């Protein structure tokens, strides 16, 4: 079994790190490069940079920000936001990303996943899913979580996997930024059905939450504001997870 990962996330807008609650009321959280370097020092296994306003503003992620962050770190980098076609993916990879996350455009044109996987390899393609609880299940939302969609979130994840996505980044919109803990029911639902790695996001409060998410079946657990605000450190989270019996990357 592969070791579990602890991932730091930078939501960016206008060249700055931002964070809100359920994707709204964004507040400034610092410089992307400075935050990226800090999380490298603290032991992050990977970094995710998401341009949270790119799709709403009908543009791609800021390549200069991607390039500056990539130059400053020595851990794998995933970039997402505003990806519309294979050329966008190529630009982000050329700017230094190791993986590129697709979301709204893939839902509108599922063949985008296949085309990207065929051109760049499945290991470069991450299907990003923003899921919200609806009744007893979960539906997806697009455009930075602002546009609800009737599509079942798990069904979409399974289709994305079949089309060639090499990883799923799963965010609970209901928990995002709330620090109420990861949605463990959502994680378990996906983990039991997916064959590709699952990165859980949304709701991290402290080290215990990360361990819970990994024990629920996630291959990696992602945090943003909990790290930005210093509520816990990546090193502290990894140490706690090891004490809980989890194999964590060194």
Catalytic amino acids?
11, 130
| CB-side neighbour CA atoms (13 Å) of 145 | 22
Q: DSSP string of 139-170?
A: EEEETTTTEEEEEEHHHHHHHHHHHT-SEEEE
End-to-end CA distance of the chain: 15
Q: Pull the structure tokens for residue 50.
A: 């998401």
Q: DSSP string of 4-50?
A: BEEEEEEEEETTEEEEEETTEEEEE---HHHHHHHHHHHT-SEEEEE
Phi, psi (degrees; rounded to nearest 5) at 128: -95, 125
């Amino acid at each position: 079994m592969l070791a579990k990962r602890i991932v730091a996330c930078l939501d960016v807008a206008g060249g700055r790190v931002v964070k809100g609650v359920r994707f709204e009321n964004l507040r400034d959280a610092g410089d992307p490069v400075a935050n990226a370097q800090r999380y490298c020092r603290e032991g992050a296994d990977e970094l995710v940079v998401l341009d949270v306003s790119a799709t709403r503003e009908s543009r791609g992620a800021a390549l200069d920000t991607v390039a500056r962050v990539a130059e400053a770190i020595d851990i794998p980098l995933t970039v997402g936001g505003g990806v519309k076609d294979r050329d966008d993916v190529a630009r982000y990879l050329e700017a230094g990303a190791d993986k590129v996350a697709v979301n709204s455009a893939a839902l509108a044109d599922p063949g985008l996943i296949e085309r990207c996987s065929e051109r760049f390899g499945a290991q470069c393609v991450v299907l990003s899913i923003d899921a919200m609880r609806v009744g007893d299940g979960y539906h997806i939302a697009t455009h930075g979580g602002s546009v609800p969609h009737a599509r079942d979130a798990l069904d979409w994840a399974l289709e994305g996997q079949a089309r060639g996505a090499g990883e799923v980044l799963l965010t609970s919109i209901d928990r995002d930024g709330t620090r109420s803990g990861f949605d463990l029911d959502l994680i378990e639902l996906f983990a039991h059905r997916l064959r590709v790695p699952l990165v859980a996001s949304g709701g991290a409060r402290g080290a215990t939450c990360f361990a819970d998410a990994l024990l629920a079946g996630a291959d990696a657990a992602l945090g943003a504001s909990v790290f930005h605000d210093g509520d816990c450190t990546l090193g502290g989270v990894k140490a706690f997870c090891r004490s809980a019996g989890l194999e964590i990357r060194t």
